[in-house]
Amino acid sequence: MCGIIGYTGFEQASPILLEGLSRLEYRGYDSAGLAVQLPARTAEPHPLQVVKTCGRLQALIDKTHRGADLLGSCGIGHTRWATHGIPSVENAHPHVSEDGSIAVVHNGIIENHFELRRELMSEGVPFKSQTDTEVVAHLLAKACREAPGADKTAIIGSALARLRGSYALGILFADEPNTLYAIRRDSPLIVGCVRREGQTISTILASDIPALLPLTKQVYYPEDDHIIKLTLQGISFYSYNPITRTVADITESYGAPVTLELSETAARLGKYRHFMRKEIDEAPKAVKDTVQSGLNDPSNMIFSDESLLSSLQSIRMIACGSAYHACLVGKAALETLCRIPVEVEIASEFRYREPVIPDPRHTLGVLVSQSGETADTIAALRLCKSLGMPTLGIVNMQGSTLAGEADHVFYTQAGPEIAVATTKAYCAQVAALYLLALRLGQAQNRLAEKEQAELLEQLSALPEKMERILETEPDLRRLARKLASTHHLFFIGRGMDHALAMEGSLKLKEVSYIHAEAYAAGELKHGTISLIEEGTPVITLATQPQLLHKTLSNMAEVKARGAYVICFSNAENALREGVLPLSDVADHVVSLPITHPCFSPLAAAVALQLLAYHVSVARSLDPDKPRNLAKSVTVE
């Protein structure tokens, strides 16, 4: 949530900051702002120019004439997802100190901001916004007043030692030309250097990789509470000791920057109208690359740690949103293929419910997250570790907090995902869990060699089957237009198809704002069937051959009550042979390719994602930036 960016170099800062913000807009889009140091003309401290707008980033781009209005080559920017205070110009970042000499941008939540605000107000500091962030600007100003001329690293260290909560902060001081400061705690922050002919020519900070990609692939992932100083010469890192109130230069300990292995175009729209559509197209490749990396990369520790895998008694998977739904599919695969007990939990519940883990040392905690920055999932990981469980993070973002803290990491290979609604990253998560099931089945001697080989073959063939689903787009677009005017609908399925129904329903709600409910197909008649009336759409998922007849009965039940039944099924052959009366109970059938039943949900997911996308477009919405949402949920 919230995107932050900072740049100091030789070029005009604001167009660069705006370009960076446009690549971060998926993190929040209810207001935006910039603060830029005016170029030096006198010996006076550089004043800061601050421009803020409410609404999408375009308003800021227009107001500043694409940044041309703001001269200066050092500045910070922000795109907001409101937590404290409504979306408004006053609440937009950057927030500035009373005299306008310090500006800050923030992602995260300052938990003790009420106390700090009260204290500062009692000292006469006037507040202009309702945000938690504003206290940071005032605390910094107070520290500057109390220690005039002190080094800014010490000022930041002493002022921020008072904050509780999570933050990634970009800080600009008027009296330090061409210099930015940053600090993070439990919130993502990346810094990078742009080098020409062996010399650093500019430095940048951002809350996410896509914003840095046009300028550099040489980055550092700062650790919690380290103070970062960015200048034209390079990046330095400092630690602050609150007891001795001293600062130590720890730049050497960071060594050389990490080189990102991502192409600059990975986060560009190219020929597509929306990122969501582009990313659905990229899902087969995300699955292919994830499977390949699981099979080929020996550094994927979890796959080579034979003793851990063979001694596991159970698995606890924990995640949020779509990642949670991916875990539900993973549970079914792991239990079917490995006969190992698996529990799946919502991270925000798990972390506060004092879970009972009977044999923690032999229970693998699997934390699944695209961003690796989801606050509740990170907290759940820490809880698992404190309980003595070995942990595996299944993460898409390199260098993220979850990846850094889990005992083992398996990276999904989806590349940057920009659309708020996850598509390719969800598919890659499911693929990673399939791999885990295959590997565990082997380590625990649950899968015979031949069976293992067959499953691997089917898994490797999945991307090609997912491609085939993309070819059904015209039919899904027509179906989407039919559904676009509905007010509510149901997704039903049994077993793995129930997990898939939950994801299909979330995807549709998220981007179309149509109310949808996912139900276990057999459960509907225990109450909810009363909501079915003439024409209510019921999307039935029927990819599990062993449950097909049961699901058909459930379709018949809703059909008899007037439902408009849509069936996503791979029972095409059976249908053709007239074995199953699918056409008797379905008004519309979407045919899916046949694969191993454990893998069917992945192929079907692509069809559901396409459907959701087209419903959103048919309703003239922006599928990439659904209302009220942001891509990574870094607050609990």
Instruction: Catalogue the active-site residues.
Output: 2, 631
Query: Which residues form the interface with ligand M6R (CB under 6 A)?
Result: 320-323, 369-371, 374, 377, 420-422, 506, 510, 632-633
> Measured at CB, which residue is nearest to ligand M6R?
321
Q: Which two tokens stand for residue 525?
A: 């008649």
- For ligand M6R, the closer of residues 5 and 612 by Cβ is 612
Provide the minimum distance between the beta carbon of 319 and ligand M6R in the complex, in angstroms, as a whole number.
6
Provide the minimum distance between the beta carbon of 401 and ligand M6R in the complex, in angstroms, as a whole number.
11
Q: Which helix (H) or strand (E) holds 496?
A: helix 496-512
The CA distance from 17 to 8, in Å, is 10
As a 3-state breakdown, the chain gives helix, strand, coil percent values, each rounded to 5, of 40, 20, 35
Provide the minimum distance between the beta carbon of 400 and ligand M6R in the complex, in angstroms, as a whole number.
9
Provide the minimum distance between the beta carbon of 539 and ligand M6R in the complex, in angstroms, as a whole number.
17
> For 128-155, b where at least 16 C-beta lie within 10 A, e where not — what string?
ebebbbbbbbbbbbbbbeeeeeeebbbb
Cis peptide before 94 (omega within 30 of 0): yes
Instruction: Give CA 441 to chain center in angstroms.
Output: 30
Q: In what order do the strands lie in the sheet with 227-230?
A: 95-96, 102-110, 165-173, 180-185, 227-230, 235-241, 246-249
- Look-up of token digits 């990346």: 190
Question: For 23-112, where are the alpha helices, taking DSSP H only?
Answer: 57-63
Provide the minimum distance between the beta carbon of 69 and ligand M6R in the complex, in angstroms, as a whole number.
35
- For ligand M6R, the closer of residues 420 and 590 by Cβ is 420
Q: At a CB cut-off of 8 Å and minimum separation 6, what does 436 contact?
A: 302, 330, 334, 366, 392, 394, 410
CB 274 within 8 A of CB 265: no
The CA distance from 300 to 438, in Å, is 14
Sequential DSSP letters for 329-392: HHHHHHHHHH---EEEEEHHHHTTS----SSGGGEEEEEEESSS--HHHHHHHHHHHHTT--EE
CB 612 within 8 A of CB 511: yes
Q: Classify residue 627 by burial, with Cβ atoms within 10 Å: 0-12, 13-18, 19+.
A: exposed
Question: For 183-249, where are the alpha helices, taking DSSP H only?
Answer: 209-212
Provide the minimum distance between the beta carbon of 428 and ligand M6R in the complex, in angstroms, as a whole number.
11
CA 39, 40, 42, 46 dihedral sign is positive
| Nearest alpha-carbon partner for 137 in 114, 119, 160, 115 | 160
Length of the chain: 636
- For ligand M6R, the closer of residues 172 and 318 by Cβ is 318
Provide the minimum distance between the beta carbon of 607 and ligand M6R in the complex, in angstroms, as a whole number.
16
Task: Specify the pairing of strand 488-493 against strand 537-542.
Answer: parallel
The CA distance from 61 to 436, in Å, is 46
Provide the minimum distance between the beta carbon of 631 and ligand M6R in the complex, in angstroms, as a whole number.
7
CB 78 within 8 A of CB 3: yes
Provide the minimum distance between the beta carbon of 178 and ligand M6R in the complex, in angstroms, as a whole number.
35
Provide the minimum distance between the beta carbon of 396 and ligand M6R in the complex, in angstroms, as a whole number.
7
CA-CA distances (angstroms) from residue 238 to 136, 149, 185, 421? 19, 18, 14, 37
- For ligand M6R, the closer of residues 160 and 323 by Cβ is 323
Provide the minimum distance between the beta carbon of 378 and ligand M6R in the complex, in angstroms, as a whole number.
9
Question: Helices H, strands E: what count in the chain?
Answer: 23, 25
The CA distance from 295 to 326, in Å, is 20
Q: What is the CA radius of gyration of the chain?
A: 26
Ramachandran region of residue 12, left (φ > 0), alpha (ψ -120 to 50) or beta? beta
Provide the minimum distance between the beta carbon of 422 and ligand M6R in the complex, in angstroms, as a whole number.
4
Q: At a CB cut-off of 8 Å and minimum separation 6, what does 202 contact?
A: 7, 8, 9, 10, 11, 193, 194, 215, 232
Q: Classify residue 451 by burial, with Cβ atoms within 10 Å: 0-12, 13-18, 19+.
A: middle
The CA distance from 617 to 239, in Å, is 49
- For ligand M6R, the closer of residues 67 and 623 by Cβ is 623
